Structure formats: C-alpha cells, structure tokens
Structure 1
C-alpha cells in the first residue's frame, strides 16, 4: 500500500496482522477465487489498478486519471467509477 505522508493511515498507523480476525492468506485466497469465478480475471492481472487513487472529502470525490488498460479492467469488473 502506498500512502501520502499526510494521510490518516500514515498518522494513525495500520493495525498489526495479528489484530485481524482472519488470516490474510485465507482472505486473499478466498477473494482471488471469487474474483476469478465471477469475472474470469486472475488477481495478478489486476496490478494496473494499483495506480488509481481516490480522494474523498465529505461527499465529494476525486479520482486519478484512468488509462485505457485500467479502464478495460474496470469494465470487465463492472466497477463504477
């Protein structure tokens, strides 16, 4: 995860892995299976989406520019942007 030096996550910190109820590996494997089953997309193919940034202030939101590769993936995932 990339964070801005001024982000809430940077200032407050992230919880330790041990503080979560379910193991990350089990959650990731389950999510990977569900995404593949529904959209026929391997989780590694989603890497281009890491470059999309969303900023929300109150009810307003700003999103970074989306390139054609990202747009195609979002359409396959039926994601609303």
Structure 2
C-alpha cells in the first residue's frame, strides 16, 4: 500500500520547506525543524523535531520560550537570610570588627541551613572564633527589633522565599501578601543577588 502524504491547506503548505515538518493538533498547525540523530541499537537515524511555532493564515508565530535544564537547578532559602543581612545594624557589626560577615554567616547558616549565603560565601566553623554565638544571635535579634520593630522570630516567616538558580538564570520565588507587608514594614526590597 503506497504511503500517502498528508494534505494541508495552502496557507500551511507554504511553510513546509526542506528541513521542517508540520503537525496538526486539533484545528491548529505547528511548525517544527526536523533533523535526525543516530541511536545505538537502531538501524536508521531517528527523527528529532524542534518546535518553531504555530502556523496561522497570517504567518508563523514563533515561540520565544527556551528550554531550561532542571538537572542542575539549585534552590536556596533567600527571604529570611537576605532580610537579616540587610537589616544587620552597624552597632552590632562594629564590636565584631572584620569578623562580622563571618559571624553573621554562621548565625544565618545555623538559623537556616539552606541559606543562599553558603552559595556566595565560604562559611567558617564556629570553633574558628571565640564568640558566644547564642549571645551574638540574641544581641542581633534585639538590635534588629530596636531599629525595625521585628526580631529574628518574626523574620522567619520570610524563609519560604527561595532563590532558584537554573544555570546562570536566577529567580526569586513567589512572595505572599503577608510577606510583602512584612518587607514593606522593614523596608527591605529584594533585588537579585
């Protein structure tokens, strides 16, 4: 029995050029780039179709979507850590001198083990310092409360704001309304890190 070629309307046919294929789904026509690749164990090369766009009587509407590999995706806690870092008062930093960033990183890591801080900084061990970290954490919370009206406990509601890294692309997850209100109250805006 001979293979019959599919018949498409004339306005679709003109886009069926060499190296492309058309697929119909419902009442819509879609244009794909067609190539092939060898697959071990197969006798002939196998077709590979890459989506180009939808065909309309007025032309092809190309897709601007890009495929993103999720195999290398990283998800980090962002909201709580970023807010504490931004709110960290100078009168807490000053007595620690050059150690303040390391001490704050350790506190954030202890409070939020998936903090994005460990993505951007090497976190040292508590034993590398002679500070009492419980006292430093309590002092930090009191001083943030004094300047902003919220302590570390209240800031923990920002923990469900995540930094999602897909290769070089970084996005911040959804921020819920109660979290937005807290961010407005403490005057912290989240830009990409």
Report TM bin, short chain: 0.5 to 0.7
- In 2, the alpha carbon distance for the partners of 1:65 and 1:78 equals 18
2:182 corresponds to 1:73: yes
Q: CA RMSD in A?
A: 3.0
Consecutive unaligned residues of structure 2, counting only runs of 5 or more, are 1-111
Count of aligned pairs: 74
The residue that corresponds to 1:46 in the other structure is 155
Following TM superposition, where does structure 1 have runs of at least 4 consecutive aligned residues deviating by more than 3 angstroms?
A: 55-58
Equivalent of residue 17 in structure 1, options 126, 138, 154: 126
Which structure dedicates a bigger proportion of its chain to strand? Answer: 2
Consecutive unaligned residues of structure 1, counting only runs of 5 or more, are none
Alignment deviations for residues 19-52 of structure 1 (CA, whole Å, 9 cap, x no partner): 2353211221121111111111132111211111
Which structure dedicates a bigger proportion of its chain to helix? Answer: 1
| TM-score, with structure 2 as normaliser | 0.32
- In 1, the alpha carbon distance for the partners of 2:133 and 2:182 equals 24
SS at match of 2:124: coil
- In 1, the alpha carbon distance for the partners of 2:176 and 2:129 equals 34
